[in-house]
Amino acid sequence: MADISVLIGGKAGDGISQAGQVTGSVFSSLGYHVYQYVDYPSLIRGGHNFCIIRAAEFPITAFRSRFDVIIAFDQQTVDLHSDRLSDNGIIIYDSGRVKAEGQGIPLSQIISMHQGLPVMGNTAMISALLRVLGIPWDLAEPVLRRKMPKSTEKNLDIAHAAWNILTPKQDLVVPGGGPRPFLSGNEWIALGLLAGGLDAYIAYPMTPSSGILHFLASVKEETGIQVYHPESEIAVILMALGFSYAGKKAAVGTSGGGFCLMTEGLSLAGQAEIPIVIVVSQRTGPSTGLPTYTAQSDLLFIRHAGQGEFPRWIAAPATPEEAMFLGAEAFRIAWEFQVPAFILTDKTFSEGLFTGSPDLPDPKPYELKAPVFPYSRYMDQPDGISPLLSPPHPGEIIKINSYTHDFEGITSEDPEITTTMAEKRKRKEQALKEQSDRPINVIISGDERSPVCIIAWGSVRGQVSEFAKKHSIRLVSPLILEPFPVNAFKTALDGVTRIIITEESATGQIDKILMEHGIVPDKLILRYDGRPSAIEELEEQVRREL
Amino acid sequence: MKPDATLISDTKNTWCPGCGNFSIQHAFKNVIEEFEKEGVPREKFVLVSGIGCHAKIVDYFRLNSFYSLHGRTIPVATGIKMANPELKVICFAGDGDLYAEGLDHLIHAAKRNIDITVICHNNRVYGLTTGQYTPTSPYGYRGRSTPEGIHEYPLNIIEMMLGSGATFVARAYSRNIPLLKRIMHDAISHPGFAHIDVLQICATFFNMTSFYDEHVYETSEVNVTQFEMACRTGQQWNYSDPGPIPLGIFYKTIRSSLPEKREQKKVDRIISIQDILTGHS
């Protein structure tokens, strides 16, 4: 089965991420499943950027530690990464700027010969890559043509010039059947939000969540949504709650620091029972931390944020299909239960690119409770969920309140009402628990009967899933982290005698949740340098624990 | 809550006797009744309050309301208005609430000219937390957090709102109800961001009745569209020193506002998502 890894590196400003994206979509057009990891520091120009593009004949969501091809736009790429070139690997480099052993291309010479623009160097390099991999020109040409909608002929001339310089070193199979949609994790989540009925997306820019804001702003006309970027994350969540009160489905997105500012609004949503969908993409903390690098260290923060006690729902996707499904499902949960619903992701997933299914998710259909008249916003119900109604409604008054309130939404400090309303929230939590504690919310893969188990969540699951079976490991991964699907999870662990947790945090977070439910891990494998693990790196760490 | 002919709810009122909030409540009730006579049904109004003595006003009205957080009336109101432009959204806020905790929202709301009305119950003191200074307390004010007296001059709210781009800037006084009613009506009718700073006494912690009665006067409002005149009128009183305190509408202008009036295109969401997926293949 073909499985090829390419590293593209250069200076910030060289368009490395864009070159990677085009390369990835070229592979997708040839019928491959593609995953792309993007690594860049928090600066605009200079510095070293690289991306890893992996193409395989099966679905993938992680990268390998060795590269079959390195494409070097600068010397640093060779110096930093050539030790990870595989045995038959090839370096393709800009011979005008880089000294290396491999196949050199005089980029500036080719570009000036065809009176092209510097950015067309990307075209030359991608063409060179396809040539080296042994893709025939008659397959490469239409794909390149489709990916170069501007100055197509000039780009193709440059591509062909680079093609002619090099010689094939491999004979890569072309699976055919492509292309699949190729989008970032942020974009897959955003599509899920759209599928779930998003009316308005409100956000303040913060890496690594900004991709959702940019993407939704770019499609707001054709999808009929509102997208707004106000003065702060405090304004973001409160505006979104205003939208929800007026009956519109609103979502917000941020990272840990922005979410800190949202916590008073989160608690308001809990007290006032306002539906809200919140995407949090984690990066390395504490505080500003590493803005462009990854972490899974906000799980407990998200789970406990906000003063007082109120139910919430947290889901963590690991694949594009899950991202799309959960993005839509978050709205069902938020509106059916009138709670904050979180999509908890991380930099690796948010800014990684994935080919995924072109099929829309099929979330559970739902109908909101019909309002009862005369209307009371917080009318008591056996399951704690009062029917929603939004203004204007002739003859009815709809009152929302951040204070402890009575059934009509009027402030109350009465101890009995305080107890009644706390219990109303607890009944809602119980109803939400019943939704969450289902086998479908716990993913089991690898060797499903093995007594040795790895527990991983979010993007780390994608790394473990590629070696679990090979080492006879059962991989158990919660899709929903809150309310934790306790019984479904314990069933998934049936017969397990050794539990290893892999997580990108320094102190361990999911183990704390598991221990609340009597599940005690034997070993934690933690990574906290901001980088996601290559499959083989994590595999080696796990192997030592078996 | 059951609708009733009367706008005032039967919730027990807990404002202190003599509180300026009663006048604001009374004036607003009359204004809503006027709008009803003009054909605007009461369910189209949404009141948003912050936290503080002022905020109880939403419990006391039989009207749609969102009792929000300290300082956060404006973003909530902005969301409601953008979600449904047909609603008339009115913020009731306090001076600690609006000018301290939530000041950034106020400035940005004026800048973006969001079509909402903000009524500030400006008693220049924190009432509910018992008498601390606010951004509009006079120089030297002694409160429980500043027993030595504050060494800061207050914000001149009128100047600040003019400088922020507000398209409707006014000052009223809780003891001049006819003027308050007229300004409230004009502000709610104004297509854009309208701000009313209502001078109001705090009967318990900062009773300025005789000071205000002595210094307030109503402006002629003849130059209400002239920005520089508005600035000059606003500078007549700095919220601290004795001096003439002009009341009335200082400035009124029309500028592009939010929500933008745009045609609602019919969109098939599923098809649009499929198109995006195809476009990224």
Tokens representing residue B89 in the block: 């959204």
CATH number reported for the structural domain that contains residue A493 in this entry: 3.40.50.920
Between A142-151, B167-176, B208-217, the lowest mean confidence (pLDDT) is in A142-151
The reply to whether residue B82 touches residue A241, judged by beta carbons under 8 angstroms, is: no
Same domain, A157 and A51: yes
A5 Cβ under 8 Å from any chain B Cβ: no
Structural domain spans, chain B: 21-279
Same domain, A187 and A325: yes
* pLDDT (average), residues B1-12: 81
Using CB atoms, which residue from A195, A239, A375 is nearest to B273?
Answer: A195
Contact list in A for residue B278 (CB cut-off 8 A) is 181, 358
A365 Cβ under 8 Å from any chain B Cβ: no
pLDDT over threshold 90, residue B262: no
The reply to whether residue A234 touches residue B75, judged by beta carbons under 8 angstroms, is: yes
Distance from CA of A396 to the nearest CA of B (A): 6
Q: Which one of A317, A340, A355 terminates a domain?
A: A355
Tokens representing residue A44 in the block: 């605009």
A279 Cβ under 8 Å from any chain B Cβ: no
The reply to whether residue B84 touches residue A187, judged by beta carbons under 8 angstroms, is: no
Same domain, A207 and A305: yes
Distance from CA of A231 to the nearest CA of B (A): 7
Distance from CA of B179 to the nearest CA of A (A): 29
A14 Cβ under 8 Å from any chain B Cβ: no
Q: Could you please report the per-residue DSSP string of A252-297? A: EEE-HHHHHHHHHHHHHHHHHT--EEEEEEE-B-STT-BTTS---T
Tokens representing residue A426 in the block: 């607890």
Contact list in B for residue A246 (CB cut-off 8 A) is 46, 79-80, 83-84, 87
What is the band of B1 on the pLDDT scale with cuts at 50, 70, 90?
A: low
Distance from CA of B214 to the nearest CA of A (A): 37
Q: Pick B21-279's CATH classification: 1.10.1030.10, 3.40.50.10420, 3.40.50.970, 3.30.70.270.
A: 3.40.50.970
Distance from CA of B104 to the nearest CA of A (A): 8
Identity of residue A342: F
The reply to whether residue A181 touches residue B281, judged by beta carbons under 8 angstroms, is: yes
Distance from CA of B171 to the nearest CA of A (A): 26
* CB of A355 closer than 8 Å to CB of A28: yes
* CB of B94 closer than 8 Å to CB of B55: yes
| Bridge partners for A283 per DSSP | none
Contact list in B for residue A393 (CB cut-off 8 A) is 43
A536 Cβ under 8 Å from any chain B Cβ: no
Contact list in A for residue B9 (CB cut-off 8 A) is 410
Domain hosting residue A472, numbered range: 439-543
CB pairs under 8 A between A and B: 189
The reply to whether residue A402 touches residue B67, judged by beta carbons under 8 angstroms, is: yes
Extended beta strands in B132-279, E state: 168-173, 194-199, 216-218, 245-252
A261 Cβ under 8 Å from any chain B Cβ: no
Predicted local distance difference test score (pLDDT) of residue B265: 78
Distance from CA of A377 to the nearest CA of B (A): 8
The reply to whether residue B69 touches residue A268, judged by beta carbons under 8 angstroms, is: yes
pLDDT over threshold 70, residue B4: no
A150-154 long-range contacts, CB within 8 A, separation 24+: A151/A116, A151/A117, A151/A120, A154/A114, A154/A115, A154/A116, A154/A120
Predicted local distance difference test score (pLDDT) of residue B3: 53
Sheet with A340-346: strands ordered across: A226-228, A200-203, A250-254, A276-282, A340-346, A313-315, A480-482
Predicted local distance difference test score (pLDDT) of residue A413: 97
A411 Cβ under 8 Å from any chain B Cβ: yes
Determine the residue among B1, B70, B108, B261 to mutate to test chain A binding: the one whose Cβ has the most chain A Cβ atoms within 10 Å.
B1
Using CA atoms in the order A430, A432, A437, A441, what is the torsion angle rounded to 10 degrees?
-170
CATH number reported for the structural domain that contains residue A220 in this entry: 3.40.50.970
Using CB atoms, which residue from A191, A234, A395 is nearest to B273?
Answer: A191
Contact list in A for residue B56 (CB cut-off 8 A) is 411
B176 Cβ contact partners less than 8 Å away, ≥ 6 residues apart: B216, B218, B247
Burial of A40 (0-12, 13-18, 19+ CB in 10 A): middle
Tell me which residue of B201, A266, A49 sits closest to A280, measured CA to CA: A266
Tens of pLDDT, residue by residue, chain A (546 residues): 899 999 999 988 788 888 999 999 999 999 999 999 999 887 767 789 999 999 999 999 999 999 999 999 999 999 999 999 999 999 999 999 999 999 999 999 999 999 999 989 999 999 999 999 999 999 889 889 988 888 999 999 999 999 999 999 888 888 888 799 999 999 999 999 999 999 999 999 999 999 999 999 999 999 999 999 999 999 999 999 999 999 999 999 999 999 999 999 999 999 999 999 999 999 999 999 999 999 999 999 999 999 999 999 999 999 999 999 999 999 999 999 999 999 999 999 999 999 999 999 887 789 999 999 999 999 999 999 999 999 999 999 999 999 999 999 999 999 999 999 999 999 999 999 999 999 999 999 999 999 999 999 999 999 999 999 999 999 999 999 999 999 999 999 999 999 999 999 999 999 999 999 999 999 999 999 999 999 999 999 999 999
| Bridge partners for A499 per DSSP | A453
Tell me which residue of A253, A260, A250 sits closest to A213, measured CA to CA: A253
Cβ neighbours around A322 below 10 Å, total? 25
Predicted local distance difference test score (pLDDT) of residue B25: 98
The reply to whether residue B43 touches residue A393, judged by beta carbons under 8 angstroms, is: yes
Distance from CA of B145 to the nearest CA of A (A): 24
Tokens representing residue A117 in the block: 């623009």
Q: A539 by DSSP, 3-state: which?
A: helix
Is A410 within a domain?
Answer: no
Distance from CA of B241 to the nearest CA of A (A): 33
Contact list in A for residue B48 (CB cut-off 8 A) is 242
Number of domains in chain A: 3
The reply to whether residue A398 touches residue B64, judged by beta carbons under 8 angstroms, is: yes
* pLDDT per position as a tens digit, B55-112: 999 999 999 999 999 999 999 999 999 999 999 999 999 999 999 999 999 999 999 9
Burial of B4 (0-12, 13-18, 19+ CB in 10 A): exposed
* pLDDT (average), residues B194-200: 98
Contact list in A for residue B63 (CB cut-off 8 A) is 397
Locate the chain B residue with the closest alpha carbon to A246: B80
The reply to whether residue A399 touches residue B58, judged by beta carbons under 8 angstroms, is: yes
H or E stretch covering A184: strand A182-184
Give the C-alpha separation, B46 to B50, whole Å. 13
Residue B83 Cα to chain centre, angstroms: 20
Same domain, A222 and A122: no
CATH number reported for the structural domain that contains residue A19 in this entry: 3.40.920.10
* pLDDT per position as a tens digit, A174-220: 888 879 999 999 999 999 999 999 999 999 999 999 999 999 999 99
Give the C-alpha separation, B60 to B55, whole Å. 10
A367 Cβ contact partners less than 8 Å away, ≥ 6 residues apart: none
Identity of residue B230: A
Same domain, A48 and A155: yes
Q: Which one of A114, A134, A165 terminates a domain?
A: A165
Query: How many angstroms separate the Cα of B185 from the Cα of each of B35, B119, B247?
Result: 8, 12, 15
Same domain, A244 and A148: no
Determine the residue among B44, B65, B267 to mutate to test chain A binding: the one whose Cβ has the most chain A Cβ atoms within 10 Å.
B65
Using CB atoms, which residue from A391, A403, A411 is nearest to B87?
Answer: A391
Please report where in the chains the tokens 């994935």 appear, as a residue.
A354
Using CA atoms in the order A524, A527, A532, A534, what is the torsion angle rounded to 10 degrees?
-70
Burial of A393 (0-12, 13-18, 19+ CB in 10 A): middle
Contact list in B for residue A375 (CB cut-off 8 A) is 1
Determine the residue among A262, A400, A404, A413 to mutate to test chain B binding: the one whose Cβ has the most chain B Cβ atoms within 10 Å.
A400
Q: Could you please report the per-residue DSSP string of A361-388? A: P-PPP--PPPP-SS--TT---TTS-PPP
Please report where in the chains the tokens 């060289």 appear, as a residue.
A14
The reply to whether residue A396 touches residue B3, judged by beta carbons under 8 angstroms, is: yes
Q: What is the DSSP letter of B257?
A: -
Contact list in B for residue A195 (CB cut-off 8 A) is 269-270, 273
Distance from CA of A458 to the nearest CA of B (A): 23
Residues 182-221 of A with CB under 8 A from B: 182-183, 187, 191, 194-195, 197, 199-200, 202, 219, 221
Using CB atoms, which residue from A25, A245, A360 is nearest to B80?
Answer: A245
The reply to whether residue A397 touches residue B83, judged by beta carbons under 8 angstroms, is: no
Tokens representing residue A520 in the block: 């005690």
Tell me which residue of A250, A238, A226 sits closest to B66, measured CA to CA: A238
The reply to whether residue A403 touches residue B274, judged by beta carbons under 8 angstroms, is: no
A269 Cβ under 8 Å from any chain B Cβ: no
Determine if the pTM surpasses 0.90.
yes
* CB of A466 closer than 8 Å to CB of A534: no
What's the ipTM? 0.97
* CB of A271 closer than 8 Å to CB of B67: no
Same domain, A480 and A343: no
The reply to whether residue B75 touches residue A397, judged by beta carbons under 8 angstroms, is: no
Using CB atoms, which residue from A181, A234, A411 is nearest to B59?
Answer: A411
Q: Which one of A289, A320, A355 terminates a domain?
A: A355
Is A297 within a domain?
Answer: yes
Determine the residue among B12, B269, B278 to mutate to test chain A binding: the one whose Cβ has the most chain A Cβ atoms within 10 Å.
B269
Is A210 within a domain?
Answer: yes
